[in-house]
Chain A
Amino acid sequence: MRTLKYDIVVVGGRLGGSTASLFASKSDVDVLMIEKRQEIGSPVQCAEGVTYGTFETLEMKPSERYVRSRIKGAHIYSPDRRRITYEGGIAEGLVIDRKIFDKDLAIESARAGTDIMIKTNVKDLIIENHKVCGVVAKHLGKTIEIRSDVVIGADGVESNMARQAGIETYKNPKKICSCAQYELVGIDVDPEYLEFYFGEKIAPQGYLWIFPKGDGVANVGVGIRSSIHTAITYLNRYVSKLDATPVELNIGGVPVSGPIKQTYTDGFLVVGDAAGQVDPITGGGIHTTISCARIAGEVAAESVKREDNSSEFLRDYQDKWRKEIGENLDKSVMYRNMADKLNDDDMNALAEFIETQDLEAISKISVLKFVGKHPNLMKVLTELL
């Protein structure tokens, strides 16, 4: 059996893996990234919307190679199709081509010094004296042992690295958004606005989205948390009414439980979907993952230099990511739990209220009067407060 030695091994070559390995390599340590698929960036499991803040975290400028559409805002539709429009702030950003973006990030990481193995499946962690000391991988039928000071698990929602390291990543199925998306051609949408549709019939306990990619092309997808029908059933039902044709089908699961409790152990860190680092309200995980993965790469590199890969040292990763996005994610979990209790009537009433009020001059009395007419909303709000 071949044996290799690196300072850091990163398992998974998507956003989390490339970002962690990029920032670890920038800190001048030996890094290996392992991707099980033969092509980085494919298949896409994402609606491909990203905020400008993501690129600040990456210290990169968005490239024309992958930018498909510049977004000014979002149209949100209630179950009875009332439209509320948000502009600016977090509604602003880009729709990108993740296949090219992910590959570009991997290229950046490689340029910074990361070695990459593709079509290589990590089977097991090497654990000695309760410390993770590397991985056992398989490439084209050959087994390779790769020893390292730190392993970073960036292996996605199906993560088994963290489980092997003794970190519980099991997700409650009610907290997994089951998603299906087509990239459609010939769809008539405003190229500068995202669209979100809510309602029990269209996407139970989730939403349907349209993310424009320019020239009449858009990602149209649904995310649901319901076992009545599959995600693809809801998607096909909606798409059959459009005169558009698909060129790609993407599927995946988005964890909306909020982050897992512990994201480190001796010689091991976990980032991204595997760690539940996804905003539970929007289901967006690009910025959260990139923020956390950067920290993971930097802390892992520091632990190599200090020759201390203990969980006491690596805890710094969790402290730092929690400081950066922990509070926002906790709030989102709270709002998610609240939104889960709203039915279609509540959402329609809320949309009507927002539509008919001057939000700049909204009064407490008008809010109380409104809530008084909707007992379920009152109940949900009382629980929240």
Chain B
Amino acid sequence: MDILSENCGFCGCCVSVCPENVLELEENGLNALDGCTECGNCVMVCPLGALIPEVE
């Protein structure tokens, strides 16, 4: 999963649906820690399309 940081609105939607708990919301940024399984949950709920599946 990749973060388009210019699209992120820091709402935290994605954090709540991450089963691996690898997303971390700071005041002005979203960090992805190691351990993403590409489940696509965060991609599905992001209101602004700031998360996109990683292209292999």
Contacts and interface: CB of A to CB of B under 8 A. Distances in A.
Interface stretch (A79-87, A168-176, A303-311): A168-176
Interface string A147-185: 000000000111110010000011111001011100000
B10 to A, nearest CB: 8
A230 B48 contact: yes
Interface in B12-32: 12-13, 15-19, 21, 24-27
B9 A251 contact: yes
A252 B48 CA distance: 10
A218 interface: no
Nearest to A229: B49
Contact of B17 (A45, A173, A179): A173
A43 B9 CA distance: 10
Contact of B13 (A37, A172, A178): A178
A176 B12 CA distance: 11
A252 B17 contact: no
Given A157-B12, A176-B13, A176-B16, A38 B47 contact: no
A159 B17 CA distance: 11
Nearest to A169: B16
Contact of B16 (A36, A45, A227, A255): A255
A231 B16 contact: no
B49 A253 contact: no
Nearest to B26: A121
Contacts of B36: none
B1 interface: no
B27 A119 contact: yes
Contact of A178 (B18, B21, B40, B46): B46
B47 A252 contact: yes
A337 to B, nearest CB: 19
Contacts of B40: 227
B17 A180 contact: no
A251 B51 CA distance: 14
B50 to A, nearest CB: 9
Contacts of A255: 16
Nearest to B49: A230
A171 B16 contact: yes
Contact of A45 (B11, B15, B41): B11
A249 interface: yes
B5 to A, nearest CB: 15
Nearest to B25: A158
Contacts of B3: none
14 contacts: A36-B27, A43-B10, A157-B11, A157-B15, A158-B15, A159-B16, A173-B42, A179-B47, A180-B47, A227-B44, A233-B49, A251-B11, A251-B47, A252-B13
| Top 6 closest pairs, chain A to chain B, by CB | A158-B12, A253-B13, A158-B15, A231-B47, A251-B47, A227-B44
